[in-house]
Each structure stands twice: as structure tokens, then as C-alpha cells.
Structure 1
Amino acid sequence: MKTNAKQLMMVVAAAALTACSSNTDLYDTNVINEGKQVSAKESYVENFAKKYPNVDLNQSWDFSTKQSDYRMGSNNKVRTRANDGGITAGSWYEVDNNTLAWMHEQLVEGQDNRSLGNPFYMTVPGNDFTIIPIYQGQAGAMWNLHVVVDGVDYLVWEKINKTSLGGSDENVQDETKTGTIQIKDLDNDEWHNLHGQWYDWGYGHWNSLYNTDGTDRWTPDWSEKNQVTAVRSTPYTFHDFPVGAEMYFYLDVTVSGSGEWDGKYHEINNVGAHESSLKGQMLALQNVPRPANIAEDNEVMIIGCEDADLKDSDWDCNDVVFLVYGKTVPKPIKIEEGDEIEEVKTVRYMIEDLGSTDDFDFNDIVVDVTEIRTISPTYTNGVVTKWNEKGKRQEAVIRHLGGTLPFVLKIGNKEYAAGGQDTFQTSPDLKLDDVTGWTGLNGAHNVSIEVEQKNSEGVFKVQFPKAGEAPMIIAVDPSQGWMTERQSVPADWFYTND
């Protein structure tokens, strides 16, 4: 629906209520120019309604999932610089069916297999090593595999699906668009991409792989049996990483294991979650029988992954399985009781500074606010039953400044003055320590700005909007990029009444 006049008047009234405050500390103007601020906000609301006629104003403007990331302790924070290491994709590796048979005996489908492993990290060996996706069990999610080596995050493997191929059925069915997994057809011995049908997501996306255990399964539409004779995958070889450096893997979930959508911005449950070996979402199986097509002087390890840490997760740890081999392989190191890792949750705030009332790029100020919890495991009968909080801190990083006006940013109890012509269109990645009192993870977004307007029009205050107000601040995931100058955010970022 289009915003009606009554709703618009209510929004303007709400904007006026938030304008009635004074400030004597921040600027020479001494006082927030109440009348001009109300007028500017009225104009902004009207222009927002014109720009987004189908956006429902009666909604939360918090679109962040607040998913957890995990990392080593505070002495090993993720860096942004690269190091000398690299990852190279190789030619096809045909999975040894004996390897799959052994894996099935260990990682029994639908059984809680956590007792076979522990939360772990690894250290880089003194030689190259290779990792290969070899199997998927009954998993509904999609994910990308990442590795963090010496604090640097690398994308190793992206699961090919319809979305990653542009969303068209024609692309999905085009065998020339070779994915990273192929199956050999039982009838004609031909290799085919595993993303070749419309139903190939969730349970259906890799359903052929779990047929290699000899069970009699059907395609998701129940049209025919779907057994294959072989599977082949792209191997990824790690080379030239610093010997002894700490490393760990995680799955970045791109499609939820539930397959349920909230209908608007993102898929519910664990989209955006990082299912990490540090948190026990993966287990490392050693003493794996060496596949016939791997040289005798190589060690072999299997990493099994659980793709969701949800109340109904089965913990069979075979949602996706990787084979690792090399002269020596990275050695898993158990995270013991008393050892500490960090759980990290971040919300990105995109802010308009009211320098212009018809500009909806939400890039005048982009700031990430993070809460870091230090946690340590408790084991019961060899399985982690509790993660204990040992400490907590907050920090923020100013990612981008797309405005020209000076401002004071308030995050909880933290205040920071910045902005102006000198910082226009810069991305400083400026870290703010000593942030306290931020309550955004609870949905109470105590983030605001006070902006010194041009032409001595006073200081305008912008707060996180309530439902029913036109937003000048929105909360999103930290993976959400910001728009270029004067390019409005798309309407589908918001809930609409289409």
C-alpha cells in the first residue's frame, strides 16, 4: 500500500517528539534548532514515502541476524592483511568408495556423533596439504567453507547452487557451467553437475552423495531412484602458509537448514552463522584408511561438519564431509576446559545525517558495533555440555563516512566526534575502544548521532527509529555493503506491502 496522510502525520509527530532536546557541550550553536530540525525531518519523511511507496513504515528497522562468529583468544585477532600463503584449486579427484564406506561406519546418519571429536583448532604443517569435499548427508543448508590461518580469513570452497549461478534454470542445467562436485550416472557412466535440477537445494542438492552407502533412495520429487556409481570433486591445495600458525575452519551458512523464510530480508534460523571447529561444529577423524588414489607417504584425515547449532540439530556431523591429505596434515588440538575462545556478534548501523532530505543511500556514517564474549567449555562424558562466559567487552569500527557534516556519534556510553569535508567519502576502518552500555543485541539500539548542520542551522539529532517512523538509521548484518553516493538502498531491504 502507499503511505496515507494519516500515517504520514503520525510519523511527522513522532519525529517532532524526538527533536525536543538541547545540548550545551558539543557545538558552538549551543542549542538544537528545534524548528528547523522538525522541518527537515518532515521533509525527509515525505520524500521517503515518495521514494518507497510500498514500504510499510510499521516495522522494525533492525534487519540484523546477530549471528555468532568464533575466533581464537584476544591475542590472535583476525587481521585484514594477507600473508604469503595461498589456496589453489586442482583437477578432479574421484572419491574412493572405500573411504565413503569407512566414513559411513563412523558418522552414522541421524546419530549424535559428537563423542568422536572435540572443539579444536589446528597448526599448519611444514608441507602443502589438500582438502576435498567428498560427501553430504541429509542437510538442508548451503554454506561456504572458510579457513582462518594466522588470523587471516580465506574463502576455500563455495557450494555451487542455483543462486550462485545467477538464479536461472538455464544456467543451472547448463553442463558447461561446471561446479565443484559431479556424479557419474548409473545408466550411462557420464559425469553430470550436481546442481542440475530445479529441486537441487536443501535435501535434494547433494542427495546423490549419500546414496553411496548402498541405501535405496529416491529423488526429492519421487520420480525415480537416484543412485550413482561415483563422485568426483575439486581439490584445494594449501601452500606456503607459515609453519606452526594456528588455523581453524568454519562453514558460513548461506541458506538456512530449515528452508523457511521470514518473507522479507533474510532466511530465518542460522543464515549468516559461522559453524566453527572452535565451537564443536566440526570433528576431526584421524587414522583414516588411505584411499587407493592417494600416495602411500601421505597422511589422511576426515573433517565432518554439523551445519546448524539449533535445538533440533541431530549432531551426526556428516552434513558436509571433507577429506584432508598431505605428507603431514594439520594436527587437531583439542580446546580443553579452561581454554578460551571468543564469540563475536556484530551489528552494522547505516546512518543518514539529514544533510539532504531526499538522499537514502544510508552511507553518511557506517559503523560496526561488536560484542565479544570470552567463553570456555565444560565437558561431560567427553562431550561439551556448556560454554562458560569468562568476560565480555564491546568495541566499534567506523567503516565509512559518506557525509560532509561534522557529527558526534553516540554508542551506549561512548561518544566520538568526527566527520566534515576532510573525511567525505572515506572508509577509515577506525576502531573505537572502551565502548560500554551498547544494548543492540537485545534489540534496544542505543545508537544515535548529533549533526552540526550547514549554514548555522543548528544541531540535529538522529536516533534509531521506532516502528511507524521513517528510518534515518537501519541495522543490518556486517556483510551488507553500503551504497555509492546518492544511490538509494533498494526497497527490498525493507518489508513491503507488495
Structure 2
Amino acid sequence: MKNFFIACAAILSFTACSNEKDLFDPANIEQKQKMSYADQFETKYGEISQDKTWDLTDFSASQTRAASTGTHATLVDGLSFYLDYRVVSNRLQTTMNARSKNKSLYDAIKTFLPDGQQHTGVPVVLTAPSNSFTIYPVSVQGAWTHDLYVKVGDAAPVKVYSKNWTDYSHGFVNGEGLKGVYTLVGFYLTQYTDMPGLRIEAPVGTPIEIYLANVKDGKNSKPTVGTFNGQAIYVETTAKPEGVEMHDNAIVKYIGIEDNNGNGSDHDYNDVVLAIVGNPEVPEEIKVTDDQYDVTSSITKRYMIEDLGSIGDFDFNDIVVDVTETVKSTYKRTLTNGVVTSNELVGTEKKQKAVLRHLGGVLPFQLTIGSTELPERKGVLDVDLEEEYEVEGWDPYTNNISVKVRQQDNVSVFVIPFPKAGEAPMIIATSDTWNWMPEKQSVPRDWFYTDF
């Protein structure tokens, strides 16, 4: 019996000692504080679904140049043109009367690319933006027949249309269709569109070539011409096509193509005119030298961090840091029979930087971004900064960022990683266009809980 009481006393003594030890165990304190944070987070915002992630940006791996999937080129309905012209001496009058909902576009083209005005093009490659865009044939004229092709990355070229007429009677308007109408004042030709457009989705930076192939007048053939050999130029005008769905902030640019790069060319670059409608961005034009060109792309994410110094406000402004990756890729083109047949990656330069933007917490902290551990620094309450650091090893798609926070006892150090799906977040990733919250003002529920 005596031994029994001694054993019980020993157990009680051990339990008491264990509980006392737990009270001062930094790991146990950190776990309890994080559990308290999670409880209060769910009390304020609601239960967290297990698949809820805290990267609130719209970046994805499909937007990188390295991705080979996700490329789509689909023929769509063309622009609607109904332009009426009066015929004089079997030729269209130079001062034509055009009645169309796209008359402003027609007038803009005639203004920026008039007959006889010479232009000089340079070899370029167009690189896809991060959004979709559509290419619409707007104007086709001239005595040379041809096929219009668009090549997106390494995919097979897509033929948009074939021009089969060899005279100028079609004038400066898109469309293969003609119909005559006799009126009391003369004979009119009504031209209308029946050429499709091409909607393109491709990873950002994907090279795009636009060219005319099978150029000939029935007897003689001409080389393939287009963006790759300087026979196409970008034309900027405020006119926008009507009758197509466009993004509210859509950018529209026009490409004028010269169908003859040999003797007798008039160099007015109005033989084929295409409208490129962005959703909202359009492809970037990059000059090519010695068949090489550089594609530069960048990704920036803003990380907003709670340091656990104070639980319950959820303002996510204790630490705000922007991280940017800039990549310059050099490509070498190969042309076979005048057509681009390959774009080989021959070199890559990558730079990463972090910019500390704001501090809203008073606890000392140390950021780790990728494989770079930044120096520990003191926290400051409510101050904007512009401190820049070079970093390495950051993965913008896995968000390998964390922060160590030294607690008020100056001994305990809590580690806060980027949260997994379904966890209560102490770090969130946003676009760098998102502003952080003022002090003690919690992030609103609809800021990132639209799926609750």
C-alpha cells in the first residue's frame, strides 16, 4: 500500500512538472497562439473550406513561356462591313461613299495607310500577352492572290482565308462578296465581309507570326511576306471595330501588310490590313536582329503578413513585401523557304528582387524568400518603406516565403510559412495593385472570401 501511494505521488508530481514545463515551452506557446488565431479567424469570417487557397492572384503556370500547353487558335465570325460604292469607268471612284457601321474604321485606315504613301518595316516577332486576343481581316486589295496564315508558337500555321481575285475592283475593303445594284443615279457595288477572324489563346511570350503565302498573279510567284521579314507594320489609331464583343478596356491595333517585296512594290503597306483586338492587351512587337530576339516577362506578387503580435484585427499589414521575378529569354529563329520553322531558346537571364513596402507591427522579424534569408530587423508601427533586396530561389507558383517573428519575451521565435489550403492564413498573396489595409482595420470578408 505504501508503494502505491508513493507511485501515485510520483505520477502527480510528474504531471504537475509537465504542465508547468508546457507553460514555458516556446513550441507549445506558439502552437496555442496559432490555434487561438485560427479560432478567432473562423469566428470572424466563417468556416474555412479544405480547398481554400490564399494566393489571390490570377497567375498560373500556363502563363509562362516554358509552358507548351494551353495554345488555341479558333476561327470566328469576321467583322461586318456593308460599304456601297459608285462605279465610274469600270473602276471604283477614289472619293467613295461608304455607308457602314464600321465607316469610322474604314476612314481611319484610308487616313493612316493611303495609297502611294511609302512605309519601311523591320523584321519583328509578336509575343502573346497573358490574355486572349482576336485577329480580324479588315481590308484586302491588290492584284496579287495569297493565303493569310497565322503561326502561334510551334503549332501548325492556321490559314485564315484565301484571296482569289487579281484585280482592284474590290477596293479597300474586306470581303470576297460583291453584288451590284442599279439605281436612278447609277450602278453601285455593295461589298460585304465573309472572311473569318482568328481568336488566339497562348502562354504569355509565345511567338506569333502573321504572313502571306502563295503570293502570285497567276503567272509569277512572290516570296512569303509578313511580320518576320519586315513586310508588316503596326498602325495605331483610336478607331475601334463595331459589331464584335470587346473588353471594356480593350486595346486595338492594326497591322498593314505589303504583299510585294520585290521590284515594282509601292511600299504603302495597305494590301492587307488586320485589326488585333485585345482582351484587353494585344501582342507586343519585338524587333529581330540576326534572327535573334529577346522576350522579357515579369511576375510580381504582394505578400501581406500578420505577425501574431496582436490577434483579432486581421489587417494583414504587419509586413507588406513585393517580390518580382524578371526573365529575359533569347530565341534564335530558323527560316525555311521564307517561313519561320523554329524558335529555339538559346539563353535565359533571371533576376529576382524583394521590396519591403510597409510595416504595421512592432515585433522584430526576419523574412525568408526562396533561398534568401534577409537580415533581421525591428518592427515599426505604421510606416511606408521602399527597401529593396536582391533574392534568389523564389517560386512565384509555390509561394516559398516565410517569416520568423521574435516575440515580446525576446526569446520565443514563431515561424510563419505561407499557409496551406484550408488553413487559417497569416500570409496572403495578392497583385501589387492591391493596397494594404489601414491599422486595426480588418480585411473585409468579400476581399478574398467570395467562395464562402
Residues 347 and 440 of structure 1 are in contact (CA less than 8 Å); yes or no, is this contact kept in structure 2?
yes
Q: 1:458 aligns with which of 412, 420, 424?
A: 412
Q: CA deviation at 1:349?
A: 1.4
Q: What letter is aligned with 2:241? A: Y
1:47-62 mapped onto 2 (5 Å cutoff): 47-53=40-46, 55-62=48-55
1:211-222 mapped onto 2 (5 Å cutoff): none
Residue in structure 2 matched with residue 428 of structure 1 by the alignment? 385
Closer, same or farther: CA 404–448 of 1 in aligned 2, 3 Å: same
Q: CA deviation at 1:379?
A: 5.7
1:76-87 mapped onto 2 (5 Å cutoff): none
**Which one has a bigger Cα radius of gyration?**
2
Q: 1:369 aligns with which of 323, 345, 351?
A: 323
1:202-281 mapped onto 2 (5 Å cutoff): none
1:143 aligns with 2:280: no
Q: CA deviation at 1:465?
A: 0.9
Residue in structure 2 matched with residue 132 of structure 1 by the alignment? 238
Residues 118 and 283 of structure 1 are in contact (CA less than 8 Å); yes or no, is this contact kept in structure 2?
no
Residue in structure 2 matched with residue 110 of structure 1 by the alignment? 197
Q: CA deviation at 1:367?
A: 1.6
Closer, same or farther: CA 110–286 of 1 in aligned 2, 3 Å: closer
Q: 1:390 aligns with which of 339, 348, 351?
A: 348
Q: Matched residue of 2:139: which SS?
A: helix
| Cα displacement string for residues 248-282 of structure 1 (whole angstroms, at most 9, x for unaligned residues) | xxx8xxxxxxxxxxxxxxxxxxxxxxxxxxxxxx6
Q: CA deviation at 1:64?
A: 1.8
1:280-319 mapped onto 2 (5 Å cutoff): 284-285=255-256, 304-307=275-278
Q: CA deviation at 1:368?
A: 1.8
Residue in structure 2 matched with residue 240 of structure 1 by the alignment? none
Residue in structure 1 matched with residue 434 of structure 2 by the alignment? 480
Tell me the distance in 2 between the aligned counterparts of 1:95 and 1:355.
61
Residues 66 and 346 of structure 1 are in contact (CA less than 8 Å); yes or no, is this contact kept in structure 2?
no
1:411 aligns with 2:369: yes
Q: CA deviation at 1:58?
A: 3.8
Q: How many pairs are equivalent?
A: 272
Closer, same or farther: CA 412–320 of 1 in aligned 2, 3 Å: closer
Tell me the distance in 2 between the aligned counterparts of 1:452 and 1:364.
13
Q: CA deviation at 1:54?
A: 5.1
**TM-score with structure 2 length normalisation?**
0.50
Residues 363 and 401 of structure 1 are in contact (CA less than 8 Å); yes or no, is this contact kept in structure 2?
yes
Q: Give the fraction of aligned pairs with identical amino acids, expressed as a percent.
A: 32
Q: CA deviation at 1:99?
A: 3.7
Tell me the distance in 2 between the aligned counterparts of 1:131 and 1:427.
40
Q: Matched residue of 2:293: which SS?
A: coil
Residues 41 and 357 of structure 1 are in contact (CA less than 8 Å); yes or no, is this contact kept in structure 2?
no
| Cα displacement string for residues 328-354 of structure 1 (whole angstroms, at most 9, x for unaligned residues) | xxxx87234323241112222111111
Q: CA deviation at 1:109?
A: 4.0
Closer, same or farther: CA 476–404 of 1 in aligned 2, 3 Å: same
Closer, same or farther: CA 467–96 of 1 in aligned 2, 3 Å: closer
Q: Matched residue of 2:249: which SS?
A: strand
Closer, same or farther: CA 44–37 of 1 in aligned 2, 3 Å: same
Structural RMSD (CA): 4.3
* Residue ranges of structure 1 left out of the alignment (5+ in a row): 1-30, 71-93, 121-128, 146-250, 252-281, 288-298, 309-318, 322-331
Q: 1:440 aligns with which of 377, 396, 408?
A: 396
Residues 52 and 422 of structure 2 are in contact (CA less than 8 Å); yes or no, is this contact kept in structure 1?
yes
Tell me the distance in 1 between the aligned counterparts of 2:381 and 2:52.
31
Q: CA deviation at 1:474?
A: 1.2
* Residue ranges of structure 2 left out of the alignment (5+ in a row): 1-23, 66-102, 114-136, 141-173, 175-194, 200-208, 212-225, 259-268
Tell me the distance in 2 between the aligned counterparts of 1:348 and 1:32.
33
Residues 114 and 283 of structure 1 are in contact (CA less than 8 Å); yes or no, is this contact kept in structure 2?
no
Q: CA deviation at 1:403?
A: 1.6
Q: 2:359 aligns with which of 401, 421, 430?
A: 401
Q: CA deviation at 1:437?
A: 1.7
Closer, same or farther: CA 490–373 of 1 in aligned 2, 3 Å: same
Tell me the distance in 2 between the aligned counterparts of 1:99 and 1:109.
21
Q: What letter is aligned with 1:307? A: G
Tell me the distance in 2 between the aligned counterparts of 1:481 and 1:386.
40
Residues 362 and 381 of structure 2 are in contact (CA less than 8 Å); yes or no, is this contact kept in structure 1?
yes
Tell me the distance in 2 between the aligned counterparts of 1:40 and 1:402.
19
Q: CA deviation at 1:495?
A: 4.3
| Cα displacement string for residues 344-403 of structure 1 (whole angstroms, at most 9, x for unaligned residues) | 122221111111111211111122222222123436555596473522232222222222
More strand by share: 2
Residues 405 and 419 of structure 1 are in contact (CA less than 8 Å); yes or no, is this contact kept in structure 2?
no
Higher relative contact order (CA 8 A, sep 6+): 1
Range moving further from structure 2, 460-469 or 98-107 = 98-107
Closer, same or farther: CA 109–414 of 1 in aligned 2, 3 Å: same
Q: What letter is aligned with 1:335? A: V
**TM-score with structure 1 length normalisation?**
0.46
Q: CA deviation at 1:131?
A: 4.6
Residue in structure 2 matched with residue 37 of structure 1 by the alignment? 30
1:334 aligns with 2:291: no
Tell me the distance in 1 between the aligned counterparts of 2:44 and 2:313.
10
| Cα displacement string for residues 66-123 of structure 1 (whole angstroms, at most 9, x for unaligned residues) | 27699xxxxxxxxxxxxxxxxxxxxxxx936344588711586415882243699xxx
Tell me the distance in 2 between the aligned counterparts of 1:303 and 1:400.
46
Q: CA deviation at 1:136?
A: 5.5
Q: CA deviation at 1:453?
A: 1.5
Residue in structure 2 matched with residue 190 of structure 1 by the alignment? none
Q: CA deviation at 1:448?
A: 0.3
Q: Matched residue of 2:31: which SS?
A: helix
